[in-house]
Amino acid sequence: MKKETLGAILKFTIFMVFLVCLILVFIQYFKAPKGAYAYIYQDGTLLYEFDLSRPETKEFTIEYQQGSQIGYNTIQIKEHKIGIIEADCPDKTCMHMGMTGSASFPITCLPHKLIIEIHEDDTNVNDVDVITH
């Protein structure tokens, strides 16, 4: 074979391997794990639990009040994902975290002490990892 043909085959092979890897990462990142559950905590207390494998659309608001500080977070569940779509916290980082169905990272609103965690079916949310004081 000619040198140019071997170079073209090598480039095509590398491109196809890269494309397949990219597609697999995309599928893994954006799909909700089978049996995924979202747990919403505020100030360490479990408020809600949702099964993300169900095809439901839901929107609700959680209010926060501590002393004179009052706030809210509006949460949306849609297409097997959950996220904060509106909040009155100063930096709105929680809104910029987007919608997720992945257990890779929690969605947090530190000013309102709100955490949304996603666990797969086999994870027991009541197990204790660490106790701090």
Domain range annotation of the chain: 1-30, 37-119
Which has more pLDDT, 63 or 127? Answer: 63
Enter the pTM of the model: 0.66
Q: Is residue 71 within 8 Å of 64, Cβ to Cβ?
A: yes
Banded model confidence at residue 133, pLDDT cuts 50, 70, 90 = very low
Instruction: Please say if the pLDDT value at position 46 is more than 90.
Output: yes
37-119: CATH architecture: Sandwich (2.60)
What single-letter amino acid sits at 56? E
Q: Under 8 Å CB-to-CB from 58, ≥6 apart: which residues?
A: 50, 76, 77, 78
